[in-house]
Amino acid sequence: MVSTTELLSRGVAALNAFATVFLLIGVFRIKAGDRAGHGKAMGWAVVTSALFLALYLASKVHLWVALHKTNVIYRPEVGLTWDKLLYYIILFPHILLAILVTPFVLRAVWLAKQDRLAEHKQLVRWVFPVWLYVSVTGVIVWGFMEFSGSLAAAAQQAVK
């Protein structure tokens, strides 16, 4: 049976994956000259990212209540290995960039809604790749946790 910890984690990863898909559709739509399609896709990217944040925070509350932890640790049973190093090399910029890009995404949306498209375009030249990186690496981070057994191990601790 799937634990709440694993279910929440999978939901967070799924929302990151959906955000990635919507971001890519959005960029392809604008490159094709479809401003309306771009707006819809990017709107869905914002919605899925907002849902991601809500579910991510819910998962943190669950970890605290169920496990008395703030995080699930990647492979705590081993020392520093190549995969653990790679995991942290991906994780740390993911977290930092996720925090930093959020207000700029909101600014980009606001500029588009205000029809200030020159400023919007100038801002999204760097905001879009960062947002895409954060979405993709969010799924990769989840993959490390899921397929290493770290999530299942953490869930088992809640049962004990």
Residue 52 amino acid letter = F
CATH number of the domain enclosing 60 = 1.20.120
Q: Up-side HSE of residue 92: CA atoms within 13 Å toward CB?
A: 5
With b meaning 16 or more CB within 10 Å and e meaning fewer, what string describes 102-124?
eebbeebbebbeeeeeeebeebb
> pTM (2 decimals)?
0.91
Residues 19-42: pLDDT tens digits?
999 999 999 999 999 999 999 999
User: Please, where are the H alpha helices in the chain?
Assistant: 4-31, 35-62, 82-113, 117-148, 150-159
Residues 91-150: pLDDT tens digits?
999 999 999 999 999 999 999 999 999 999 999 999 999 999 999 999 999 999 999 988
Structural domain boundaries enclosing 24: 4-159
Total of domains in the chain: 1
